[in-house]
Amino acid sequence: MATRSLWRTGRNLAVFSATVCGGSAAAAIATSEDPAKTLKLLTTVPIRLFRDSVTAASIVFDYEYSLWGLREGSVEISKVKHEVHLRSARKLQELCFRNGGIYIKLGQHIGQLEYLVPQEYVQIMRESMLNKCPVSSYDQVCEVIKKELGETPDKLFSEFDRDPIASASLAQVHVARTHDGQKVAVKVQHTHLTDTAAADHATVDFIVNTIHRLFPAFDYRWLVDEIRESLPKELDFLVEGKNSEKCLDNFRKLSPHIADYVYAPKVYWNLSTSKLLTMEFMDGAQINDVKTIQRLGIQPNEVAKLVSQAFAEMMFKHGFVHCDPHAANLLVRPSPSSKRSILGKRKPQLILLDHGLYKDLDFYTRTNYAALWKALIFADAKAIKENSVKLGAGEDLYALFAGILTMRPWNRVVDPAVDHLVIRGADGDRSELQMYASQYFPQISELLRRLPRVILLMLKTNDCLRAVNNSLVQESSLLTFFVVGKVSSEAVIEAKLLQRKSLLCWLNVWLAEILLEARLFGMQMALWLLQLRKALSWGN
């Protein structure tokens, strides 16, 4: 009954929205201060709303018709569900590409939600949404550049490639060369994106609120609120440039021990505006291109370790976090400051791209989040509950929150074994994760509604980092958890030092540091023994 209701609702929404919006268009245009922009919105919103409604109704009907009469738990229903998931994911993929803009960003986000959506959706969105986005024509690129800088690309640059090397949801990147010979990457916002973004927000807002009224368990209004807050910042490329400089400055001041191993492209401010960003061109391997990374003389496990350390430092110490670290935004190259080892290996340098989406974590949130991860790494059930509650999960959903962060069930989260958080890429593990996602969907939705939006973005960041790690080492590496445990523990100790400055406090902190080092040393020894045991078993 619910799915039939949604089918009828989708059909009625499309007809109703087109009628109402069309009937009021003339009056709105006549009274608008910008008639052209208003006309664009009033013609775009009904079309997208109609397209959204038809796609949603088609997906719901496919599920209802295909699964009708099949027994839950049977082999047949599993096979049919897989086929419907694939068809529906492709329909959603097509909708995202046709609408573009925000919809592609939503598709990218869906590609990280392993704990909430079927694996078929995750796989299709990850494969298509990162670097296969729609491309603006060269004429449209020239229109943006001339409007922003007053000249066409051929006059501003000595060379300018007409074809982009990458295209994302909000912009595309062209390779160029300045008149003084510097090779640069020019990021150009898609034409009229500001207008379509407003239309996208209106349609997404309408759809999400309507679905929530029909099915209260599906409450994703927080997603609309987050888009409303973050999108204007992402559409201002001057903010992105300032974010990249602040990020590097934080590493130099707060994490000097790894500052040489983290880099962001230099910004050419004289050739940059809110819709155009000219940056130093970076040569490097994409973070999930393991073969190229190995050809550069870099070990993938060293890259995984560096990624974990860099983002742990941002989350637990800097409080200024790059929240979109998917594979297309991370490059790797040999560190310019390192020399080859005897075996010909090089230290990696992580290059961070696309600095449009950052979040500030206040001292309270940052400290509690660090304490939570410390508790997760060391399987401290009491501290996990305490810090989860402080972050908003509540007394009833703290175990679910821990499970989403680690992608492990509660019994594994609190298992004292050194490798208790490691996810092995076996089908059994994946099936278990999907089972939990299906079984606890209402509770997951409630948790996401309840958590502060900044923590929701930390979840998104965590999902992206997990996907990157899996592509580098094929399974979640115990070494990366060791790194996260070390950085989060250090952050907790530093926070205590800042809060209390008595001699007794200093002595307590000093003792805590000694105990931490002993605990980490024990964890490192267990890691070596585990690796030795695996090596011996492989030898046999």
**Catalytic residue numbers?**
324
73 sits in the region (left: phi over 0; alpha: psi -120 to 50; else beta) called: left
Instruction: Compute how many other C-beta atoms are within 10 angstroms of the C-beta atom of residue 170.
Output: 24
| CA–CA distance, 515 with 378 (Å, rounded to integer) | 13
Alpha carbon 17 to chain centroid, angstroms = 32
CB 136 within 8 A of CB 191: yes
CB 152 within 8 A of CB 145: yes
Q: Return the sign of the alpha-carbon dihedral for residues 97, 329, 470, 456.
A: negative
Nearest CA among 479, 474, 470, 469 for reference residue 530:
479
Residues in the chain: 540
Spell out the SS3 assignment of 375-439. HHHCCCHHHHHHHHHHCCCHHHHHHHHHHHHHCCCHHHHCCCCCCCCCCCCCHHHHHHHHHHHHH
Residue 80 contacts by C-beta under 8 Å, 6 or more apart in sequence? 66, 67, 70
Q: Residue 531 is inside which H or E element, if any?
A: helix 503-539
Instruction: Compute how many other C-beta atoms are within 10 angstroms of the C-beta atom of residue 394.
Output: 15
CA distances to 117, 174, 188, 209, 518 from 89, rounded to whole Å, are: 10, 30, 29, 22, 48
